[in-house]
Amino acid sequence: MATKSTRFPLRDQRSLALLKELSRPQRRAARLPVADDAADELQQWLPEEHRSDSPPPLPELSELDLVRHFVNLSALNMSVDSAFYPLGSCTMKYNPKRHEWAARLPGFLNVHPQQDDESVQGMLALLYGMQELLAEISGLPCVSLQPAAGAQGELTCLLIAAAYYRDQGQQRTKVLIPDSAHGTNPASAALAGFDCVTVASNERGTVDLADLKAKLDPQVAVCMITNPNTLGLFETDIVEVAQALHENGSLLYIDGANLNAILGKCRPGDFGADMMHFNVHKTFTGPHGSGGPGAGPIAVREELGAYLPTPVIVRERGEDDRPRYRLDYDRPRSVGRVHGFFGNVGILVRGYCYLRSLGPEGMRRVAENAVLNANYLLARVREAYPVPYGQRCMHEFVATTVDGDDLQEVVRYWQQRHLLPRKVALTAQDVAKRLLDYGFHAPTVYFPLIVPEALMIEPTETEAKETLDAFADALLAIRREERELVREAPHTTPVRRPDEVRAARHPVLTWHELEQITQDR
């Protein structure tokens, strides 16, 4: 069970109490004068039979109580604006504030989704431009901006694949997924009605081509590959993978979560992809977290374009020969809607501003600097935290807290049994918790599942060398620290390390409960 940190005395913990706990009778943020005819006015607008006999049980607080409560809560949050956030595969890079300003311009902010097309020509022009940019970046000509997240983009592509094969008179039931894939890949395939078939990784950490070919049969509809993959390695056999799939009549789907590594350098459509999704809230600097808002547009080949969700934004020539944009709902083979109206436009505006700000050369520098930062960090920490796959990486790498000369044997044992043959002195969870004391958010831990005690680290291109050095120094220091100090971390946060099993079954939701538990102990 969680315990309070000695760094935060009781007087400070009042600022972290719940609003209900801060409430005092008759305390108000504002007091309004009562008009002489207030009762008559109230009776007119809200008859007595619809009024409660007592006020609602809401907290009673001053404005100062409210301001301090929310400001102190906000100070507890870690974000990309306040700390280094090296989440592997999540691409938590800086969100430029000029894009926030642009997205809040009245002409964007105040648009209503039910306005007719003629009254939102500016917004539709921007969104059409975003479609064109994504088509060029991916090498896939047909784009939908509707999906609200990467996972929904995956699902939408698989629904398109299912519709395509139905029109071909084929009942394909399988989706091939590498063992290093994101967990959303098999989830999306199952939701779309497919059976998942795992493809093994080879000793290099990339897709085992022989295993993939052995599992190809007339039932395989799609193979879902992340490229670069979740180990931070480029799938060097991707062209041969695509050829094998296409010879089998199957489609190649590229998970766009790691597009940051190849942005402007190569296009998935050029190395054989038939469909892919983008994470605007990752690659294109839209803020994300806490469930959204996100955006996961998709791009597909020409022959799959008829199945895109409706509506699709199209450009035509008006009577004055000027471009006119409209939402096209007349698409009889469409898989239907996957989102209300035309998507999370606030995030799409931010992504459009980002791409227009960078231009082609800027996009290439994004990928180059992301790869440079990741390899620099890998070189600094790999002696203390071995990297089982790859001497070099793309935008991220996966290290482990398991040490020793027999690392490869340990990894193989883990992959066969999901057990470690010996006790680990330092766990990935230990490192994650202790990093909080150094002011860093943890990298992604325990993923991908093919690496035991995994630390999946992605620095992104927006971090300076000084930040990378400070993070590397913290990781190296943690490796040298006493085990007891690390196992009990974090030491500087309001709540210490929880007993995660007990906390899930008996959550502590208020400070009063926490204080009682502490006294009982």
Q: What is the mean pLDDT of the chain?
A: 90
pLDDT at 511: 64
Q: Whole-angstrom distance between the N-terminal and C-terminal Cα of the chain? A: 10
Whose tokens are 């325990």? That residue is 446
| Structural tokens at position 51 | 């009024």
Give pLDDT, residue 495. 77
Which strand ranges, in their side-by-side order, compose the sheet holding 454-457? 397-400, 454-457, 444-445
Average confidence (pLDDT) over 358-377: 97
Run of H or E including 196 = strand 195-199
Q: Which position has the higher pLDDT, 518 or 252?
A: 252
Q: How confident is the model at residue 8 (pLDDT cuts 50, 70, 90)?
A: very low
Give residue-wise pLDDT tens across range 180-217. Answer: 998 899 999 999 999 999 999 999 999 999 999 999 99
Highest mean pLDDT among 66-80, 306-320, 498-512: 306-320
> Would you state the pLDDT for residue 521?
56
For residues 515 and 148, the model is more confident at 148
- Rounded distance, CA 425 to CA 503, Å? 24
Distance CA 143, CA 146 (A): 9
State the pLDDT at residue 292. 55
In 318-457, DSSP assigns E strands to 323-328, 397-400, 444-445, 454-457
Give the per-residue pLDDT at 517. Answer: 62
Domains of the chain: 97-357 (3.40.640.10), 361-505 (3.90.1150.10)
Per DSSP, the chain holds a count of helices (H) and strands (E) of: 18, 12
> Is the pLDDT confidence value at 497 over 90?
no
- What backbone phi and psi angles, to 5 degrees, belong to 221? -95, -45
Residue 412, Cβ density class (10 Å: 0-12 exposed, 13-18 middle, ≥19 buried): middle
Is residue 513 over pLDDT 80? Answer: no
pLDDT at residue 515 in the model: 63
Lowest-pLDDT choice from 65-69, 104-108, 505-509, 514-518: 514-518
Q: pLDDT value at position 38?
A: 67
The confidence band for 178, taking pLDDT boundaries of 50, 70 and 90, is very high
Q: Which amino acid is at 326?
A: R
Question: Is it the case that residue 291 has pLDDT exceeding 60?
Answer: no
Average pLDDT estimate for 428-439: 96
Q: Among 78-82, 244-248, 348-352, whose mean pLDDT is lowest? A: 78-82
Residue 11 has a pLDDT of 43
DSSP characters over 306-358:
GGSPSPEEEEEE-TTS-EEEEEE---TT----SSSTT--HHHHHHHHHHHHHH
Local confidence band at 376 (pLDDT 50, 70, 90 cut-offs): very high
Cα separation, 72 vs 309, whole angstroms: 43
How far, in Å, CA of 499 to CA of 2, rounded? 7
The answer on pLDDT for 36 being more than 80 is no
* CA separation for the pair 32, 87 (Å, rounded): 49
pLDDT band at 260 (very low <50, low <70, confident <90, very high): very high
Question: What sign has the CA pseudo-torsion 242, 243, 244, 247?
Answer: positive
**d(Cα 426, Cα 424) in Å, to the nearest integer?**
6
pLDDT of residue 13: 58
* Residue 437's pLDDT band (cuts 50, 70, 90): very high
| pLDDT tier, 10 (very low <50, low <70, confident <90, very high otherwise) | very low
**Residue 5 confidence class, pLDDT cut points 50, 70, 90:** very low
